[in-house]
Amino acid sequence: MNNLVQRFSWILPCVTIAITMCVCTVGAANETASRLDFTNDVAPILTKLGCNAGGCHGKSTGRGGFKLSLFGFNAHEDFDSVSRASRGRRIFPASPDDSLLLKKATMTVPHGGGRRLDRSDPEYRLLRDWIAANMPWGTGAARIEQLQIAPAERQMKRAEKLQLTATAIYSDGSHRDVTRLVRFSSGNPAVAEVGANGLVQTKNRTGETTIVGLYQGRTAVSRVITPAANATAEVERRLAEFDVANLIDRHVIEKLKLLRVPPAAIVDDGTFLRRSTVQIAGRLPTLMETQAFLDDQSSNKREQLIERLLASEEYADQFAQKWSDLLRNKRRGQKPRIPGTIAFHRWIRNAIAANMPYDQFVREIITATGNVTVNPPAQWYAEVRYLDRYVDDTAQVFLGIRIGCARCHHHPFEKFSQDDYYGMAAFFARIDRKGGAGVAERRADETVFIKAAGEVLHPLTGKVVSPRGLDGEELEIAPYEDPRQALVDWMQEPDNPYFARAFVNRMWAHFFGRGLVEPMDDLRATNPATIEPLLDELAAEFINSKFDMKHVIRLICTSNTYQLSSQAQDEDLDETENHSRFYPQRMPAEVLLDALDQTSAVVTRYKGLPVKTRAIQLPDEDYSNEFLRLFGRPKRESACECERTSQPSLAQSIFVMNNRFILDKTTSKDNYAAALAADQRSDPEKLGELFLTAFSREPTPLEMRNAIEYLASETDKRKAYGNLLWALMNTKEFMYIH
């Protein structure tokens, strides 16, 4: 035996070294795994893989018995769900690869979310190591304070690739490359897509997009701009010769030069007249107005037109209807009609007509108290009745922020948390009501008042929340003070980043069909304006004008950007965001119905209202009309303008072609067609008038020839002119603002 030991004694040191190396290697691996931090290392993987998205386990009720906080905003809750909930059945430290968490992700067992990982992925290995180390929470590591994406902006060629880099900056000042852990998304995949690891691939399209990165509740953006492939001498000439009328044109042409996209031509007088009259006054120009404007040879006639429209009664009607939508002036089918909606609509209209400064307009609504018959803005509180609606509607309508997500969890694409949400809610904590018959009836004798005391409790901590504006300081409100006054004071501070920007962006969307920020009421860092300096300067101009609403409209409508043709050039067929041309939009339901009435000379009747009441003048949503419903009039259930729809449908086409409501307008014995048939002038003269009435332009030679031939073939002239009227009113040119 001793001889055997002696013969192989030379092996023992090698075995000892090998065992020592193995132990050291395993020990080092275990030590590395034990340093893994759930918040910094594990939770971001769950976000990147989509596990905690709203459509999966991040929904409020979870999925399949497994619930995670939305996008990982509550790491402690997620740690418990992964490692402890359901008796820890999702993990198996003794055999990590057999953990349900990994088997589901790799589709080793059925998984409704599909395959999310392969065993060769580094994310799989990290999760496996964390499980093998007995799922450590962490070692008190520094927490993220900021996320940065580089480059922040880049011009790229079409079909080009770019690798983004994401860096997390932590509370101890350290930096870490977290590119592989960030969840990336593209705001406009038609311009550029982004892969899971931050590789950007541009498409064959001119434009720009925002690449958003999400990591541990922090977001960062990178802007990718893809100019036109090349600029011809003609394109360069048109860009250089664009006439800058005001600040709007200066910013727009700067952006178009960057994209190498030329502006369209300036529209003719008839198109400008129709466009501006419809959008400012909510109606078509009359025949006399059209003829006078086309005959006017003065150089400033377009500016004069804008001033006349802003001074008109119809301007007040148009924007009273718009604000009645936003402020949810709603009757809800109550019989008889309550005075509240009528009084509030009248108050809004009078405020618009008098050009009440916007800051005063908002203050009188938000701080309203008393009875609606005495103080009509109190009607807002008849529909906006609960704490969450106070916050959501105030933020969305007046600040352009969709903050509702933060009521239950951290906003997934913004910096706002539940602390911010309930800080806003605290401004409304003292609102109370007396009188009235109850919520459902909303009796007109209900009175809104401010109590001496009232508080909001944080849903997680149970502690009283002090009032504070978004990103603002906590405020102490005395018992005799109305907290809402402090809220409006904060909103209207010159450096408030939301109030003025929200209004000018909303007005921009009204006239151009889309906001500089789109959706128009979704202002956030991860949804920047297409022309950010323009939005900033317009907001500053609005503040400097002392919140003059007409001033903003005047700036927009006298800009050459607003006066561009809607006809796309070959070079800008893809461009739909940076205003190289005017983007056509269908008339709103009420304006379109009034246009049909005006063109046919047959008035639509509304029960209980004077005979010549226009649809744009209706005080609330409950005046029954199938046309208005079909063409997208909102029910005023929300404060979002998206409730109003303008998408065409087959049902709309069938209605305007065949419904008796429309046919009565073209066949009535007293309509415009009958008047034309009885007129002794020549057919060409009458046809010229018909086209001016419907389109604010003369017919083309082909249109004139076809119409004359048709009239000559018909013996019943009234019916023939009625058919022509019907044909014109069924065209896109009639129904659209262009």
Note the pLDDT tens digit of each residue in 267-290.
Answer: 999 999 999 999 999 999 999 999
Contact 351, 368 (CB under 8 A): no
- Alpha-carbon gap, residue 546 to 549, rounded angstroms: 9
Classify the phi-psi angles of 329: left when phi > 0, otherwise alpha if psi is within -120 to 50, otherwise beta. beta
Q: Which of the residue ranges 30-39, 116-125, 598-607 would you say has the lowest mean pLDDT?
A: 30-39
Quickly tell me which residue has 């799989």 as its tokens.
124
pLDDT for 410 equals 63
Q: What is the mean pLDDT of residues 92-101?
A: 88
* pLDDT confidence of residue 294: 97
Confidence of residue 413 (pLDDT cuts 50, 70, 90): low
**Is the sign of the CA dihedral 93, 95, 100, 101 positive or negative?**
positive
Question: Could you give the count of Cα atoms lying within 13 Å of 320 in the half-sphere of its Cβ?
Answer: 29
Distance from C-alpha of 518 to C-alpha of 515, rounded to nearest angstrom = 5
* pTM greater than the 0.85 cutoff: yes
pLDDT tens figures, 684-720 = 999 999 999 999 999 999 999 999 999 999 999 999 9
Q: Work out the pLDDT band at 409, boundaries 50, 70, 90.
A: low
What does the pLDDT read at residue 12? Answer: 47
Residue 474 amino acid letter: E
- Residue 473's pLDDT is 84
CA 243 to chain centre: 31
Of the listed ranges 17-26, 330-339, 377-386, 405-414, the one predicted with least confidence: 17-26
Instruction: Fill in the amino acid letter for 573.
Output: L
| Confidence band, pLDDT 50/70/90 cuts, at residue 69 | confident
Window from 488-492, 620-624, 685-689 with minimum mean pLDDT: 620-624
Q: Residue 32 and residue 502: Cα distance in Å, rounded? A: 50
pLDDT of residue 721: 96
SS3 for 667? helix
**CA-angle at 642, arms to 639 and 643, nearest 5°:** 70
Mean pLDDT over each residue of the chain, to the nearest integer: 88
Query: Which structure tokens are listed for 184?
Result: 């990336």
Task: Look at residue 32 and tell me whether its pLDDT is greater than 60.
Answer: no
Dist CA 289 CA 283 (whole Å): 12
**Distance, CA of 351 to CA of 114 (rounded, Å):** 56
572 pLDDT higher than 60: no
Task: For residues 480 and 482, give the distance between their C-alpha atoms in angstroms, rounded to a whole number.
Answer: 7
Note the pLDDT of residue 266: 96
Torsion sign over Cα 394, 400, 405, 406: negative
Three-state SS at 287: helix
Predicted pLDDT of residue 23:
42
Task: Give the pLDDT confidence score for residue 113 in this predicted structure.
Answer: 83
